[in-house]
Amino acid sequence: MRKEEGPAWNKDFSRRVKNAGAMDRLELLEFKEQDGISRLIYRGRFARETRRLAVVLNMTKKIPAVSLSTE
């Protein structure tokens, strides 16, 4: 994620997670690594809904991509 994108994404992420209610559980569903790039998919179970979080880590362990979706 580029430095200038962080604050807006954090604000949106916080709003979306807050609307989901208290987190009950976070589980790692998938981990793939290829050519130094890691892809992780998590499921977060919240009081009002379930969310899926996908994170990509590059070779320097920085996060160039992340997405949050309703399951």
Q: In the CATH hierarchy, which top-level class contains the domain 3-70?
A: alpha beta
Distance CA 18, CA 15 (A): 5
Distance CA 55, CA 71 (A): 16
pLDDT at 6 (0 to 100): 67
pLDDT at 33 (0 to 100): 96
pLDDT in tens, 11-59: 777 777 788 888 899 999 999 999 999 999 999 999 999 999 999 999 9
Cα atoms in the Cβ-side hemisphere of radius 13 Å centred on 26: 8
Cα atoms in the Cβ-side hemisphere of radius 13 Å centred on 65: 9
